Structure 1
Amino acid sequence: MDKLSVIGVVLALFALIVGSILKGAGVASLVNSAAFTIVVIGTTASILLHTPPVTFKHGMRIVKWAFKPPLQDPAALIARIVEWSGVARKQGLLALESVVQSEEDPFLKKGLQMLVDGTEPEMIRNILEVELQTSEHFDQQGAKVFEGMGIYAPTLGIIGAVLGLIAVMKNLADPSKLGPGIAAAFTATIYGIGLANLFFLPIANKLKAVIADQVRMREMMIEGLIAISQGENPRNIEVKLQGFVH
């Protein structure tokens, strides 16, 4: 669990609610069905038009990474790769066949299988790098779903404010309706800017950071597998792979 993300969400809600109370607006001023309809439903409509169905679904699927990123242990992975290199040097690459069967990571399993099959190091690198680039691009597109929502939400908030002011202008003859009407109009702006800057854009950037970490791990996997294929000394492999760790 990413504790910083959870704390961020709690503090964002705290800032909005307590800030509204301290400013004298009250919590009730943050509740407005018209503003919700225009901003939230409008933003959803915009991103659905903006994004292909597969990308949108993937974005919704990976949003959990912002709060619970995939478990990654670089030190443990390096130790495993060094162990495999020792086995390969002593018993040959075919000795890693049992490792292939037990490996759960599809990317790493594919690389190990090519090792066992005797695939040339350069071919292993090319195949795995293509797969890595493809998966990275797909994940980045999923993160951009929230980036797009962060772009559209403030604009929808302005539209909501303008529509609210239009309604106020229609009631100029009744001064008692002007204050509440203007306040309700600006609620839409709060929704748009608040959702964009407190939720959508931060989530998009957190997802990009998680994806970058995953890419670095897979790059380390590729270098380790190539080193095993070339018969490098396990100690040298360990030193090389430690360069990927912060």
Structure 2
Amino acid sequence: MDKISVLAIVIGLTAILAGQALEGGHLGSLLQLTAFMIVLGGTASAVMLQSTPKQFLTGLRMAGWVFRPPLHDQEKMIRELVGWSHAARRGGLLSLEGYVNSQKDLFVKRGLQMLVDGAEPQIIRDVLETEIGVFEDERKQSAKIWESAGGYSPTMGILGAVLGLIHVMENLSDPSKLGGGIAVAFVATVYGVGIANLFLLPIGNKLKHLIGQEVTMKELTVEGLIAIANGENPRIIESRLRSFVGSH
């Protein structure tokens, strides 16, 4: 569990609600179902319209990363790569065949299998780096739905405000209906701007950071596999991989 994400949401909501209460406002005045439907529904429809089904669904699933980010044990990966380099120096690349089936990560498994099959180092690099590029592009396109939602949400808040004011203008002769229309108008704007800046845009930025970590992990793996294919000394491989992680 990413505790800082939970803490951030609690602090943000508390600050807004406490500020409303300190100003003498009623917390219930911020609860407007109509405004919420306009902002949330309008934002969702705009994002769905610009996305493919796969991008949209993947982006929704990735939102869970904010609280439970993917685990990347770089130290463990370095230890495994160094261990494979020792095994390769003792028994050749074919001695690594026993490690292939035990790999749960398909990317690592594919690279290790190519190593065992005796593929040229440059071919291994080209294939795996192409896969990294495709992976990164697909992930970023899916994460982008949250940035896009953060752009549409304030506009939908303004749309809700305009609709609320239209309702007010239509009922100028009936003072009892003016309060509700004005409330929807202003609360819709609060929802649009608040949701965008407290949730949607931060989620998009955090997902980009997490995708970067995944890419770094894959690049680390590629560097290790290529070094093994070139028959480099295990200690040199370990030193290179540790400096590589530090530079990222």
Aligning the two structures, in what range does the TM-score lie when normalised by the shorter sequence?
Answer: over 0.9
Give the C-alpha shift of residue 179 in structure 1: 4.4
**Which residue of structure 2 lines up, in the alignment, with residue 205 of structure 1?**
205
For residues 18 and 142 of structure 1, the distance between their equivalents in structure 2, rounded to whole angstroms, comes to 35
For residues 138 and 26 of structure 2, the distance between their equivalents in structure 1, rounded to whole angstroms, comes to 43
For residues 198 and 117 of structure 1, the distance between their equivalents in structure 2, rounded to whole angstroms, comes to 50
For residues 148 and 43 of structure 1, the distance between their equivalents in structure 2, rounded to whole angstroms, comes to 9
Give the C-alpha shift of residue 245 in structure 1: 2.3
**Which residue of structure 1 lines up, in the alignment, with residue 5 of structure 2?**
5
**Which residue of structure 2 lines up, in the alignment, with residue 51 of structure 1?**
51
Structure 1 position 35 matched with structure 2 position 35: yes
For residues 124 and 181 of structure 1, the distance between their equivalents in structure 2, rounded to whole angstroms, comes to 64
TM-score (norm 1): 0.96
For residues 162 and 41 of structure 2, the distance between their equivalents in structure 1, rounded to whole angstroms, comes to 17
For residues 130 and 245 of structure 1, the distance between their equivalents in structure 2, rounded to whole angstroms, comes to 21
For residues 167 and 200 of structure 2, the distance between their equivalents in structure 1, rounded to whole angstroms, comes to 29
For residues 147 and 213 of structure 1, the distance between their equivalents in structure 2, rounded to whole angstroms, comes to 19
**Which residue of structure 1 lines up, in the alignment, with residue 64 of structure 2?**
64
Counterpart contact for 2:39–2:156, Cα < 8 Å: yes
For residues 244 and 174 of structure 1, the distance between their equivalents in structure 2, rounded to whole angstroms, comes to 70
- How does 1:135-154 map onto structure 2 within 5 Å? 135-154=135-154
Give the C-alpha shift of residue 192 in structure 1: 0.5
For residues 63 and 33 of structure 1, the distance between their equivalents in structure 2, rounded to whole angstroms, comes to 24
* SS, match of residue 144 in structure 1: helix
**Which residue of structure 2 lines up, in the alignment, with residue 22 of structure 1?**
22
**Which residue of structure 1 lines up, in the alignment, with residue 173 of structure 2?**
173
TM-score (norm 2): 0.95
| Unaligned runs of at least 5 residues, structure 2 | none
Q: In the superposition, relative to structure 1, how do residues 227 and 235 fare at CA in structure 2: closer, same or farther (>3 Å)?
A: same
For residues 64 and 176 of structure 1, the distance between their equivalents in structure 2, rounded to whole angstroms, comes to 44
For residues 36 and 9 of structure 1, the distance between their equivalents in structure 2, rounded to whole angstroms, comes to 18
**Which residue of structure 2 lines up, in the alignment, with residue 98 of structure 1?**
98
**Which residue of structure 1 lines up, in the alignment, with residue 107 of structure 2?**
107
* SS, match of residue 244 in structure 2: coil
Give the C-alpha shift of residue 234 in structure 1: 0.5
Overall identity of the aligned pairs, in %: 53
Give the C-alpha shift of residue 243 in structure 1: 1.7
Give the C-alpha shift of residue 167 in structure 1: 1.2
Counterpart contact for 2:160–2:184, Cα < 8 Å: no
Give the C-alpha shift of residue 180 in structure 1: 4.5
**Which residue of structure 2 lines up, in the alignment, with residue 130 of structure 1?**
130
**Which residue of structure 1 lines up, in the alignment, with residue 242 of structure 2?**
242
Amino acid at match of 1:20: Q
Amino acid at match of 2:143: A
Deviations 1:134-176 (A, max 9, x none): 0111110111011111111100000000111111122333445
Give the C-alpha shift of residue 41 in structure 1: 0.8
Give the C-alpha shift of residue 15 in structure 1: 2.2
Give the C-alpha shift of residue 11 in structure 1: 1.6
**Which residue of structure 2 lines up, in the alignment, with residue 163 of structure 1?**
163
RMSD over aligned Cα atoms: 1.3
**Which residue of structure 1 lines up, in the alignment, with residue 84 of structure 2?**
84
Deviations 1:46-72 (A, max 9, x none): 111111111101101211111111111
Counterpart contact for 1:29–1:184, Cα < 8 Å: no
**Which residue of structure 2 lines up, in the alignment, with residue 74 of structure 1?**
74
Amino acid at match of 1:80: E
Count the aligned residue pairs: 246
For residues 199 and 234 of structure 2, the distance between their equivalents in structure 1, rounded to whole angstroms, comes to 45
